[in-house]
Structure 1
Amino acid sequence: MFRCSTERMEDKIKTFSKFGDAGHGGITRYSLSPEALQARNEFVKRMEAIGAVIETDDMANMYATLPGTDPNAKRIVMGSHCDSVKNGGNYDGILGVMGAMEVLETVATEKISHKHPLTAMIWTNEEGSLYPPAMMSSGIVCHDVLPDEIAKNFEYDNMMSSKSVLDKTTTFGSQLANFKYKGKKENRLNVDKYKCMFELHIEQGPILEDANNDVGVVTCVLGMFNCRIKFYGQSDHAGTTPMHKRQDALYAASQALCYLHNEIDKLGNKELVYTTGEIVCHPCVHTVIPDFVEFSIDVRHEDQELLAKVYEIVRSLESKEWAKCKCEVQLAWKRDTVYFDKELVNFVKKSAEELNIPHQYINSGAGHDAQFVNYLMPTTMIFVVSKDGHSHCEQEYSTPEQCANGATVLLNAVLKADLED
């Protein structure tokens, strides 16, 4: 068994945390930004130093490859993303890039023999923070093999015209056109050139820490759906309209939200999670009764039948009256549970066992590029414990030792995959 270097991993964490340093212990590093360019330049510098060959595709995805002993063998790719949310942490996404770099550095310095070329990768615009949607590049690269209900959200031309949420005159396509690392379409990840993919990532939740485990052997990405629930009332003066005559859309929405919580909780499944994270209120004036309110509901679980039951509860809102207001339910997004390749999952599990690194099976409630790649080729993920379960915030933290453990499991799982034709 081979082990990655904690010292090298700590150095990478410190170095990459400078690119987009927000001044509070975390980073803001939007895709295609000057800060993202700094991170990519560092990636190139370190990978070229060990003899890796750098390629880029038309989405500015980056590939650093060490050749194997068989020039005809397909590549094994590892990677994640280097962009962040606003005021995010130093581990989400970039740990998968640093872990892939650490695997290649260990292979090069230890002169570990391998048949297949090994590739470290950076995906462009996974977060979608500045240019929605999330997982844009992997959605485009894997478009032709994605289920129809997902593929329709990742049409290439539409993505190129995706406008910045900060500057509505700037599009993703215009920024990409002038980006240093935009390359050729033929360099995209594809099944002709690549054998399989591994993605190392922080857990972004508390499950591993609560169980005193360092590594998660990821079996799947949970199925989910997202609905927009809209209420239509009537705007009137806040001081002159009697309460019994009002059609208050906000009051109606609040009743419906409480109803959803009560009815969904009756299903009694502790692993089911659902969230209302966005609300729109019109006209949002303190002297005016709201005439329109819209809120989101995001529901996630592995069991598709359970998700279907929850969806029926959500849909039932339309057939009820809510404070004299009309209700409309719109399905915005849906995906089935994505199960990772069993052989690769087993390689990860065996590697953690042989290394005596505390681990467990776990699923992913969050979406990742790996879930799209899984439709294209065999894929799996490895999680590293997150302190207090924090993520998408500046408190995000995993120790250098924990990160190195994740990279070590990745390295040995890759080497097991390398033995297969």
Structure 2
Amino acid sequence: MYTCSLERMTDKIKTFSKFGDAGHGGITRYSLSPEAHMARDEFVKRMKAIGAEIEVDDVANIYATIPGSDPDAKRIVMGSHCDSVKNGGNYDGILGVMSAMEVLETIVEDKIPHKHPLTAMIWTNEEGSLYPPAMMVSGIVCNDYLPPEIGKNFKYDDMMASKAMEAHEGSAPTFGEALAVSSYKGEREYRLSPDRYVANFETHIEQGPILEDNGKDIGVVQCVLGMFNYRVKFYGFAAHAGTFPMNKRHDALYAAAQALCYLHDEIDKLGRPELVYTTGEVSIHPCVHTVIPDYVDFSLDVRHEDPKVLEAVMNILKTLPEKTWAGCKCEIAEQWKRDTVYWDKNLVGFVQEAVDELGISNQKINSGAGHDAQFVSYMLPTTMIFVQSKDGLSHCEPEYSSPEHCTEGASVMLNAVLKADEFYK
């Protein structure tokens, strides 16, 4: 069994945390921003230093490859993204990149024999924080392999027209314009594809508290949970807040509040503690303190592995329009959904063998969050490895995973990749 370098991993964490540092312990590193270009430049510099060949595709994904002993073998790829959410942390996404770098660095330094070329990769615009949607570029690259109901949301022309959510230093009005002026716009022929690649690995922080709560260092990821996202809309009428009697009002906000409480009560009655659901967005009109709201809508995000559980929640949701809420009409509208995506059983097995042989505490775990790997899984055999997150925090500046845990994650991936190298022809 081989192990990666704690010293090198610690140095990478320290170095990459400078790119987009806002002085609060975390980063804001939007895709294709000056900060993201600095991170990319560092990746390229370090990979060139070990003799890796650098390729860049037409949507700015970067591939750093070291050769294997078989010149005809397809590549095994490892990677993630280097962009962040606004005021995010130093580990989400970039840990997968640093782990892939560490695997290649270890193989080169220790002269570990391997048959397949091995590639470390940076995906463009996974977060979609400046240019939505999330997982934009993996959606473009994998589009021909995605289910139609997912692929329709990631058509190339539509993605190029995605407008910036805010003004940011060095940003362009649209993603396509930002890509056009990027120093990392390359050639389509270098895109990830089954013609050139045979398997995909992604190491990531857990982004939740399960591993820490259970005293485990590594999560052997089984799947990405199925989910659906709906908007729940309420229609009343506006009137003056000080003069219109309470018993004559059709207050859309009051209606929404009643319905949200009803949803929580009914969903909780299903008795599924592993089921998660969230209302993270609320819109209100006219949003004036002296006017009774005439329109409100809120989001409902629901996630679970079992489609039958998701169906049970959907049945509850579908009862809302049948009722009248504070005199208001209710409508529901689907935004998007996905089925549970299961990782390749062979690759999951290699991860399990590697972590057990290394003697690192671990457990099977599911991912509630989406990742580029889930789109790649429709194209290539794919799996993920989770590293423990302190206090379960992610997408925020206190996000933290220890250098020791990060190095363990890279070591697990290294040995799993070597097992895959022996398995595939």
CA contact (8 A) 2:231 2:298 kept: yes
What's the TM-score, normalizing by structure 1? 0.99
**SS in structure 2 at match of 1:406:** helix
Q: Structure 2 CA distance, aligned partners of 1:177 and 1:314?
A: 43
- Cα shift at 1:316: 1.1
Q: Which amino acid aligns with 2:149?
A: E
Q: Which amino acid aligns with 1:269?
A: R
Match of 2:204 among 189, 198, 201: 201
**SS in structure 2 at match of 1:85:** coil
Q: Structure 2 CA distance, aligned partners of 1:400 and 1:323?
A: 53
| 1:18-417 to 2 correspondences below 5 Å | 18-167=18-167, 170-417=173-420
**SS in structure 2 at match of 1:296:** strand
Q: Structure 2 CA distance, aligned partners of 1:169 and 1:323?
A: 45
- Cα shift at 1:415: 0.2
Q: Which amino acid aligns with 1:230?
A: K
Q: Structure 1 CA distance, aligned partners of 2:309 and 2:367?
A: 17
Q: Structure 2 CA distance, aligned partners of 1:200 and 1:405?
A: 10
- Cα shift at 1:148: 1.0
Q: Structure 2 CA distance, aligned partners of 1:293 and 1:207?
A: 35
**Could you list the per-position Cα deviations for residues 33-74 of structure 1 after superposition, in whole angstroms to 9, with x for gaps in the alignment?**
000000000000000000000000011000000000000000
Question: For the aligned residues, what is the CA RMSD?
Answer: 0.8
What's the TM-score, normalizing by structure 2? 0.98
Q: Structure 2 CA distance, aligned partners of 1:316 and 1:336?
A: 22
- Cα shift at 1:22: 1.2
Q: Which amino acid aligns with 2:63?
A: Y
**Could you list the per-position Cα deviations for residues 352-377 of structure 1 after superposition, in whole angstroms to 9, with x for gaps in the alignment?**
00000001100000000000000001
- Cα shift at 1:309: 1.1
Q: Structure 1 CA distance, aligned partners of 2:213 and 2:309?
A: 26
Q: Structure 1 CA distance, aligned partners of 2:144 and 2:314?
A: 28
Q: Which amino acid aligns with 1:15?
A: T
**SS in structure 2 at match of 1:409:** helix
Q: Structure 1 CA distance, aligned partners of 2:5 and 2:313?
A: 46
Q: Structure 2 CA distance, aligned partners of 1:316 and 1:137?
A: 37
| Structure 1 residues not aligned, in runs of 5+ | none
**Could you list the per-position Cα deviations for residues 336-367 of structure 1 after superposition, in whole angstroms to 9, with x for gaps in the alignment?**
00000000000000000000000110000000
Q: Structure 1 CA distance, aligned partners of 2:302 and 2:190?
A: 36
**SS in structure 1 at match of 2:318:** helix
**Could you list the per-position Cα deviations for residues 178-213 of structure 1 after superposition, in whole angstroms to 9, with x for gaps in the alignment?**
100110111000001000000000000000001111
Instruction: Name the count of aligned residue pairs.
Output: 421
- Cα shift at 1:169: 7.2
CA contact (8 A) 2:32 2:179 kept: yes
**For residue 3 of structure 1, what is the aligned residue in structure 2?**
3
**SS in structure 1 at match of 2:73:** coil
